[in-house]
Amino acid sequence: SPYRFFYYTISTRIFTPTLLPPLLLQVRSILFPNNTLGPPAPPPPSTEERIAIKRKAAADILGLLPNRVAKTLLMHDSEEARVDEIEEEILGWSDDLWLNKYLIYGILELVLCRICPEMRDKLPSELLAERG
């Protein structure tokens, strides 16, 4: 079966007893430089900062579009109205927490199904029972 070949190749070529300790040391040095945790995360932006960030993103998106295309797609004459339209219609969907949760679940499911296509058809418990 191709899965056994894949498992055999990984276990004999990548996770060999001679290669595993340096690999783990390298991963540790990448994740924890100087054997310490990284700096604490910056505080989340305030409401005013979020609005300014979203406004700048909308202006940057509008800057990527040629003027004629932006005028045709957004159907506004003033640039300020076009930025408002992009901010509300294109960037506004990310304000919905419920939608964000299902978007992340969808992306995670897509990645897992690409990595392990057998997970698409069976539950994890069925796969574990198969492999014993």
**Domain boundaries in the chain?**
1-35, 46-94, 96-132
Spatial distance between the Cα atoms of 121 and 118, rounded to a whole number of angstroms:
6
**Each residue's pLDDT tens digit, 19-75:** 888 888 898 888 888 888 878 889 999 999 999 999 999 999 999 999 889 888 888
pTM of this structure = 0.52
**Each residue's pLDDT tens digit, 84-120:** 999 998 888 877 888 888 989 999 988 888 887 877 8
Residues 119/113, Cβ–Cβ less than 8 Å: yes
Question: Residue 125: is its pLDDT beyond 90?
Answer: no
- Residue 93 structure tokens: 């969907």
Nearest to 2 by CA among 105, 79, 116: 116
* Ranges of H-type helices in 1-132: 2-9, 20-31, 47-64, 67-74, 79-85, 97-115, 124-131
Residues 99/106, Cβ–Cβ less than 8 Å: no
Q: Which residues contact 34 (CB under 8 A, 6 or more apart)?
A: none
